[in-house]
Amino acid sequence: MEDLTQQAKSVHAQFDEHLDLDVDAIESRLETLVSKYRIPPEEAQRSLIENYREEADLNHDDLDPRSNNHVDVATIDEDEQWIDVRVKVVELWEPRSDAIAQVGLLGDESGRIKFVSFATSDLAELEEDSVYELSNVVTDEYEGRYSIKLNRTTSITEIEEDIEPGNDHDDQTGALVDIQRGSGLVKRCPTDDCTRVLQNGRCSEHGEVDGEFDLRIKGVLDDGTTVQEVIFDCEQTEELTDITLDRAKEIARDKLDTGAVLERMEPDIVGRYFEVTGPKFGRYLLVDEFEQLGALSADEALEQLEVTA
Amino acid sequence: MSQSQPSRSVARRVFATEFNDITYTFKESDEERAPVYGLLPTGERANRVFIAGTLTETQDVGGDSEYWQGRVVDPTDTFFVYAGQYQPEAAAMLREAEPPVYVSIVGKPRTYETDDGEMNVSIRPESISIIDDDTRDRWVVETALQTVERAEKADEHPTEYATMADEQYAITPSAYSESALDVLEEMEESHD
Ligand SMILES: [Zn+2]
């Protein structure tokens, strides 16, 4: 009964500071409730927590922050909070270290968030596109970005209900500090639904093809504490650089080099400040709207500092 | 499966006085290609910086091959930038620039020991852009704000880097914070 063990661990963790409980004992009480009395596992866990709470003479509030606040992932804005989430596994990524069991992206209606589980926690594996109730996960913050960490007390319950993970409409301000490969005038694979950007005339899926020209900028916005990769599509790139797709093709033809287009674009956009908005997709923010930013008022900055001082 | 998260270092906003006081650098892993961080005296690590100012002078200081030096002045001091054959675009920029002109630079701090044993720090540019005065002014205000924020954080919630800075440097974060406030006040007066 893997799930009951996880639930028992979660209950144990909640009363860690208050009662001298034993995970096996909790599990056997859960098991009695579930198999003998046919109480659904979640209900069994709840009633057990209620029992222990009375035993420890605690109020509901005393169990906070571990008393399983159900949270929308887009609202997570504090480090080290113990929470519950109901999420779909959007993507699993390749862990970069043996210590990490799984890493990827979870989503609920409100948005998406990175998650990590560690090999030592010995948890059941999450599957892509499945929906789970994850109880007792802990939030983590790194340079302004939030993620959640699963741990040995996390209980994982797969649920039938489907979730359409939201695309947070993000707003990001920063200096455009880099433009990545595959920017400028590019060629895309014309095969149905492929649209991959060709490298030296080849699609990684369909081999050598006659590509179709397109414009895009893949760049990095940096506000001094966080970085965000952003993609400007053809329309946004035309507006950003003042170079249309037709003009870009002319430039490439004149110079016999598609790279000449990016060379023409870069000096006007790198090292400037922009505010962009758009949905986040994996690690990229897809720009729907942008604005180049001008001076900040020293006056307002001083006011802001006096308020915080 | 998609790729794992990017791990690009952020570009810290730092005035020239603070930047030039970087004497301590460190790595956080033994791997040869691990990033080198300069320790900011306000208690933050910097593998990359974003700076802006007036490019006042350029000079080829190289021997056989070109090695361009640029001086970039901000309200507090002068940044030194060096670009050679491994930074061809930045080197071309310095060769062709006609000072004085406003520039913004993304680059990495590089420290070196002079013949008399003193530590010097300069910027190895990844990109140099010619910018307008609005962008430069935005950088000044942003950098002042972030300098004050770093100093406050070092004081109130010191991280390991703040502790490191406390051990490595004689000048306290609050000195840089005060200088940043002076910059803002001067700007405010000049705009009145
Ligand atoms: Zn294809």
For residue A95, list chain B residues with Cβ-Cβ distance below 8 A: 4
A297/B contact by beta carbon, under 8 A: yes
For residues B176-189, average pLDDT:
94
Size of interface A-B (CB pairs under 8 A): 118
**pLDDT in the model for residue B6:** 44
* Choice between B21 and A95, residue whose per-residue pLDDT is larger: B21
Q: Mind listing the pLDDT tens digit for each residue in A143-171?
A: 556 889 999 889 999 998 888 887 667 78
Residue to mutate among A94, A177, A227, with most B CBs inside 10 A, is A177
Task: Report the CATH fold assignment for A70-158.
Answer: OB fold (Dihydrolipoamide Acetyltransferase, E2P) (2.40.50)
**Domains in chain B: boundaries:** 11-187
pLDDT digits (tens, 9 = 90+) for B65-123: 999 999 999 999 999 999 999 999 999 999 999 999 999 999 999 999 888 888 899 99
DSSP annotation string for A238-276: HHHHS--HHHHHHHHHHHT-THHHHHHHHHHHTT-EEEE
Task: Give the model's confidence band at A216: pLDDT under 50 very low, under 70 low, under 90 confident, else very high.
Answer: very high
A169 — phi, psi (to 5°)?
A: -85, 105
Mean pLDDT of chain A: 87
Identify the residue among A143, A296, A304 best suited for mutation to test binding to B, counting B beta carbons within 10 A and taking the highest: A296
Q: How far is B17 from chain A (nearest CA, A)?
A: 18
Interface of B with A in 28-67 (CB under 8 A): 48, 50, 52
Per-residue model confidence (pLDDT) at position A309: 52
Q: How far is B156 from chain A (nearest CA, A)?
A: 11
**Is B1 a residue whose pLDDT tops 60?**
no
How high is the pLDDT of residue B5? 42
| Residue with tokens 């008393």, as numbered in its chain | A67
Q: Do A282 and B2 touch (CB under 8 A)?
A: yes
* Minimum-distance CB partner of A93 among B1, B103, B185: B1
Q: How far is the CA of A37 from the centre of ligand 1 (A)?
A: 57
- Name which of B12, B124, B22, B137 is nearest B70 in CA terms: B124
Fold type of domain B11-187? OB fold (Dihydrolipoamide Acetyltransferase, E2P) (2.40.50)
Q: Tell me the domain boundaries of chain A.
A: 2-60, 70-158, 169-308
Return the CATH number of the domain spanning residue range A169-308: 2.40.50
**Got the DSSP string for A54-94?**
HHTT--GGGGTTSS-EE--GGG--STT-EEEEEEEEEEEE-
Are A70-158 and A169-308 in the same CATH fold? Answer: yes
Work out the widest C-alpha separation in chain A, in whole angstroms: 82
Contact criterion met (CB < 8 Å) for A271 and B11: no
Q: Which of B6, B137, B145 sits opposite A295 (nearest CB)?
A: B137
Q: Report residue B2's pLDDT band, with 50, 70 and 90 as the boundaries.
A: very low
Integer CA distances (angstroms), A183 to A7, A214, A247, B86, in order: 49, 10, 16, 22
Beta-carbon contacts of B52 under 8 Å, excluding residues fewer than 6 positions away, are A271, B72, B74, B102, B103, B104, B105, B131, B135, B136, B139, B140
Spell out which residues of chain B touch residue A103, defining contact as CB-CB under 8 Å.
Answer: 4-5
A-chain CB neighbours of B103 within 8 Å are: 271
Cβ distance of A271 and B127 shorter than 8 Å? yes
